[in-house]
Amino acid sequence: MDTLNIAIAKTTLPVEDLARARAFYAEKLGLRPSREEEGALFYEGTGGSGFLLFPSEARPSGHTQMAWFVKDIVASVAKLKSRGVRFEEYDFPGLKTNHGIADLGYEKAAWFRDSEGNLLALGQLV
């Protein structure tokens, strides 16, 4: 048996300012770290999912670095917008958002940046 097939994957996100990132994740996303160790913030969800924020001078990439899959993307986007989260708008061949949400056929998706420039997403399987 391949151990990676049964392993739980975690995301790590670089942040320039850990205090600013903590505030963004708390105030805008409603998330609190489950623990803090050696300057890294750990966020752990249900089913073993989770991520950590760590101080780094690395620059965020231009692609999606982490996504949450939700049951109702329209409601989730609306709730985050009410907290001040700004969603990206795209209008490219094959990718067009409508009020921040793209219909990709196999899923609906919406993208936003955190306080540190990391590109995050919401997804809903269709």
Q: What would the pLDDT profile of 66-81 be if each residue is shown by its tens digit? A: 999 999 999 999 999 9
Q: Write out residues in the chain with pLDDT < 50, as ranges.
A: none
- CATH superfamily label, 3-125: 2,3-Dihydroxybiphenyl 1,2-Dioxygenase, domain 1 (3.10.180.10)
What's the pLDDT score for residue 31? 96
Q: What is the pLDDT of residue 48?
A: 85
Predicted confidence at residue 1, as pLDDT, reads 53
State residue 32's pLDDT score: 96
Helix H or strand E segment including 78? helix 73-82
Q: What per-residue string of b and e applies to 55-94 under the rule 16 or more CB within 10 Å gives b?
A: beeeebeeeebebeebeebeebbeebeeeebebeeeeeee
Q: Per-domain residue ranges for the chain?
A: 3-125
- Read off the pLDDT of residues 48-66 as tens digits, 9 standing for 90 and up: 889 999 999 988 888 999 9
Query: What pLDDT score was predicted for residue 100?
Result: 97
